[in-house]
Amino acid sequence: MTIFLILAPYGAFSALMLLTSATPSLLAATFVCAGTIAFDVWRGRSFKILAVGSAILFAAIAAYLNVVDPGVSNKAIRLTVDIGIFTISFGSMLLRYPFTTQYALESVPAEIAAMPGFMRANYIITSAWTAASLLMMLVNAAILYVPGLPIWLGLAVALAARNSAVFFTKWYSAQRRTQYASSLLPQALPKAH
């Protein structure tokens, strides 16, 4: 469910961009972000860097479109969203607190979070998401600046990149859990006399 909540604003934005104009798409994504933030608060969890950053990103782009330049193309808006996602993801690592850390801290026991490899694992998982957002950003830049490239190319790459990041997150997390469990196994077995 966590991954669904993380991806819900972007799914809403992408789907609505196919059906309507940018402003309703951005506002819907902003409200979905607000909903995920409210859900976290209701469950007693922390504000998430990604959710708050995304809400600000979607709202700021919507405000820009309505106040400064309503003529920005949908391709440019998609690219701007991708740049924002990349900035949030990469910026969290530059600030030495990968955005996945908040989700991980709420889903693992304290003894796992205290292990030396915990932060490294979060850097690796956040790097996968950063790479996915970089790939989406580059493809949307190509679609914007290279005439004739179809919009579906950006959608296909976004779907593949996000699905790859989701798969990697689940796979790598499972690998780390297996390594942790195997490191505890010798301590749990009775000692031979």
The answer as to whether 191 is a domain residue is no
Angle subtended at Cα 9 by Cα 100 and Cα 63, rounded to the nearest 5 degrees: 110
Q: Which residues contact 80 (CB under 8 A, 6 or more apart)?
A: 61, 72
The answer as to whether 123 is a domain residue is yes
Give the global pTM. 0.84
The answer as to whether 186 is a domain residue is no
- Count how many domains the chain has: 1
Averages of pLDDT over runs of 10 residues in the chain (193 residues) are: 78 88 93 93 89 95 94 90 94 94 86 84 94 92 86 86 92 84 55 47
The answer as to whether 188 is a domain residue is no
Q: What tokens appear for 66 in the block?
A: 């309505």
The answer as to whether 45 is a domain residue is yes
Angle subtended at Cα 89 by Cα 84 and Cα 92, rounded to the nearest 5 degrees: 120
- Given its phi and psi angles, is residue 20 left (phi above 0), alpha (psi -120 to 50 degrees) or beta? beta
Give me the DSSP letters along 44-89.
TPPPPHHHHHHHHHHHHHHHHHHHT-TT--HHHHHHHHHHHHHHHH
The answer as to whether 19 is a domain residue is yes
Sign of the CA dihedral with 169 first, then 166, 14, and 137 last: positive
User: How far apart are alpha carbons 100 and 168 in whole angstroms?
Assistant: 13
- The phi, psi pair for 98, rounded to 5°, reads -50, 140
The answer as to whether 192 is a domain residue is no
Q: Note down the domain range covering 122.
A: 2-180
CA distances from residue 62 to 2, 31, 76, 84 in whole angstroms, order as listed: 26, 12, 13, 13
Q: What tokens appear for 80 in the block?
A: 């701007």
